[in-house]
Amino acid sequence: MELRHIPRAFLLSSACLSLVSAADAPGVASANWPQWRGPLHTGEAPRGNPPLEWAEGKNVRWKVEIPGLGKSTPVIWGDLVFVTSAAPTGKAAPAPTAEAAPAEPAAGGRRGGPPAGEKPVHLEFVVQAHNRADGKVAWRKVVKEQTPHEGTHKDGSFASGSALTDGERVYAFFGSRGLFALDLKGNLVWEKQLGTMQTRLSFGEGASPVLHGDRLVVNWDHEGQDFVVALDKKTGKELWRAERDEPTSWATPIVVTHGGKEQVIINATNRVKSYELATGKVLWEAAGMTQNVIPSPVHADGTVYLTSGFRGNALLAVRLAEAQGDITGKPAIAWSYNRDTPYVPSPLLYKGGLYFLKTNSAVLTRIDVATGQASFTQRLEGLSNVYASPVAVNGRVYVLSREGVMMVLDSGPELKVLATNTLGDGFDASPAIAGDEMYLRGQKYLYRISKD
């Protein structure tokens, strides 16, 4: 199996979130990045001006080492930057129970687990806050200690879901380890256990909850009983639950408001579905995407864009005004596209263009969302593998490769390279932008990029 055919949604983060109502307050959107795809859940920072160029000795205000491993994107609120990670405790892992035994072994070790003969590791699951000014740790909270019941891909992590915040609390989701709400000083407010996932071939977990108003929504698609559930953000109390029928997926839902009704939209393999946020009732659905769905949807101006790209290509543009019931093949689907769609990275929606990468490569396409026609499809020379989702601000598009090379492009219908920057770390997490600062979470370090 080729490397590009292995799910890595857990790298994303994937992972993850939607509009935070507090982000609508004046000035908040430009100062914060409350979720992994930003305040608009499109990859766009509405305002800001981070540097065009940087290197290890230029426009890197600080970099700090982060213990353990995590693929989650930093989230930013006020003076703090929040990250999640999973770090070895050094304690001996307990013997696995029959219930925790891997479901699908393979020669030489599970495809998603450790090599044959390698011992499982006892981990602590950590939420950590850093000061934006200097990168120093403001607080560190271990919310769980556990030996994972199954493995994850060799490029993955047991801390792949990004945190999210509404400015009052931080919500960290570690999948089978639980969902945790902390105040901004790191005190645990509540926790919620939703069960134990069995992911396809033990590839790992990656999607994050979505937060809208007073509700957190968690999608739980795996190889067992699937569901989507809404929780009260203040208490963790379950408000409603709807059963689903999907294979393992890693796509984080979004919440959009259309016609006065709030709806949760979930990208998936069998059926793309929209649920009423208040009740969990299905509002509309369509034939699904490819296998191993990872990218999160994006939305603007009454149209939702859904993509996937494992062993196939799929892109749908859905007009919410016409979406009701089963919309497969109906006019509610404004247009579709079946080439060069992304496997791991989520698309970027910015200034009338939908930007996405071919599978996990550095082949970038821009679609004019008004027409559904491609403005360009072009390889970004100097970049190789890309797991991080592109972001945009101030008329620029930023694309970050695993190798630490980030290309800065002029947004628009023609591809124009403005700068190419390199850091000495590997990157899977998507960038975060807050005002004139960009935060990059690498394999070893957390970086603040801002003008010297």
For 103-135, write each residue's pLDDT tens digit: 443 333 345 555 444 678 899 999 999 999 999
Beta carbons of 61 and 440 less than 8 angstroms apart: no
- pLDDT for res 30: 54
The residue behind tokens 């977990």 is 205
- Domain 3-449, classified CATH 2.130.10.10, yes or no: yes
Beta-strand runs (E) in 281-436: 282-287, 298-300, 303-308, 314-319, 325-326, 333-337, 348-350, 353-357, 363-368, 373-379, 391-393, 396-400, 405-410, 416-422, 432-434
Whether the pLDDT of residue 26 is over 70: the answer is no
Distances (CA, A) of 402 to 64, 232, 247, 399, 441: 19, 37, 27, 10, 11
What is the per-residue pLDDT for 95? 66
Reported for 330-334, long-range contacts at CB under 8 A and 24+ positions apart, including other chains, are 332/284, 333/286, 334/303, 334/372
Residue, of 15 and 285, whose pLDDT is higher? 285
Instruction: Please check the confidence at residue 17 and state whether its pLDDT lies above 60.
Output: no
Residue 116, judged by CB atoms within 10 A of its CB (0-12, 13-18, 19+), counts as: exposed
How much is the average pLDDT of 165-194? 96
Tokens of 352: 């009338």
Q: pLDDT above 70 covers what percent of the chain?
A: 88
- Of the candidate ranges 63-72, 295-304, 337-346, the one whose mean pLDDT is the lowest: 63-72
Q: Is the pLDDT of residue 22 over 70?
A: no
Q: Which of 209, 263, 262, 218 is nearest to 244 (CA)?
A: 218
Selected residue with higher pLDDT from 205 and 316: 316
Strands laid side by side in the 298-300 sheet: 298-300, 303-308, 314-319, 333-337
**444 has pLDDT over 50:** yes
CB 292 within 8 A of CB 343: yes
User: Alpha-carbon distance 452 to 219, whole Å?
Assistant: 42
Q: Residue 288: what pLDDT?
A: 81
Mean pLDDT over the full length of the chain: 89
Whether 97 has a pLDDT exceeding 80, the answer reads: no
Grouping H, G, I as helix, E, B as strand and the rest as coil, residue 286 is: strand
pLDDT bracket for residue 16 (50, 70, 90): very low
* C-alpha triplet 377, 383, 387: angle, nearest 5°: 85
Tell me the average pLDDT across 65-91. Answer: 93
Nearest alpha carbon to residue 268 among 298, 299, 291, 240: 291
Q: What pLDDT score does 108 carry?
A: 35
Cα–Cα distance between 229 and 231 in angstroms, integer? 7
Q: Specify the pLDDT at position 75.
A: 96
